[in-house]
Chain A
């Protein structure tokens, strides 16, 4: 069964840091791009970042560029999101999602995790 399980969320003060993880199973992790998507309370979906299957290419939304870093460890089938200089507006549920096409980066998001909640507040 294809599965994505996020972890690492929690309460952090403004200006603080947090690292999210996403453990993947049931598919060839290194063959697919991976993304992070977030959803602020009561709001819609916002794409945050993506990384190619090899990890050699990364992409960011302007709202997080320079503060967040996406990475992956294909030997551990795990995706990461390092979040620094956190702001109140980063408060959201963060979902990881896998791409749907082998080798593609600009593709749809096929499988989603259940999400992990990040709250930025003093």
Chain B
């Protein structure tokens, strides 16, 4: 099973600033990596797939990069609605596995 490790567990950032979230895979997942956003009491929402492709309707301030084992989600200028928990997930191998999540909180 591929283990996905996200860092940091919690990230405190001020609105308007940039946030950088990391995700590492225990072995290569090529570019088969997705990012999801989850707000309290809501279902997850797809943000990024293929490591760097924004899903439909996702603002351009969200960007993804990386391949192989190292991935990054960057939010260029944080808006109030961006404070949430973010999960990475690999879909290169069975079982599909998620990272443990990064909570993005207001500083």
Q: Which residues of A contact B (CB under 8 A)?
A: 35, 37, 44-47, 50, 59-62, 95, 100, 106-115
> Provided the pairs A50-B96, A106-B92 are in contact, do residues A100 and B44 lie with their beta carbons within 8 angstroms?
no
Contact assessment for A106 and B45 in the assembled complex, using a CB-CB cutoff below 8 Å: no
Contact assessment for A113 and B98 in the assembled complex, using a CB-CB cutoff below 8 Å: no
| Most A CB within 10 A of own CB, among B42, B43, B94, B98 | B43
Q: How many A-B contacts are there with CB distance less than 8 Å? A: 62
Residues of A within 8 A of B97 (CB): 47
Chain B interface residue count: which class?
20 to 34
B3 to chain A, nearest CB (A): 13
Contact assessment for B98 and A47 in the assembled complex, using a CB-CB cutoff below 8 Å: yes
Q: Does chain A have a CB within 8 A of B71? A: no
B103 to chain A, nearest CB (A): 10
Contact assessment for B46 and A110 in the assembled complex, using a CB-CB cutoff below 8 Å: yes
| Most A CB within 10 A of own CB, among B42, B55, B91 | B91
Q: Does chain A have a CB within 8 A of B89? A: yes
Q: Does chain A have a CB within 8 A of B59? A: no
Partner of A113, one of B43, B91, B100: B43
The 8 closest A-B pairs by CB, nearest first: A108-B34, A108-B49, A112-B43, A47-B96, A45-B98, A44-B101, A61-B95, A44-B100
| Chain B residue nearest to A93 in the complex (CB) | B43
Residues of A within 8 A of B91 (CB): 106-108
Partner of B34, one of A46, A59, A109, A114: A109
Contact assessment for A59 and B94 in the assembled complex, using a CB-CB cutoff below 8 Å: yes
> Provided the pairs A59-B95, A108-B49 are in contact, do residues A45 and B43 lie with their beta carbons within 8 angstroms?
no
A119 to B96, CA, bound (A): 24
A100 to B55, CA, bound (A): 10
For the complex with contacts A44-B98, A106-B91, 7 further pairs of A-B residues with Cβ separation under 8 Å are A37-B44, A45-B38, A45-B89, A62-B95, A109-B44, A110-B55, A113-B43
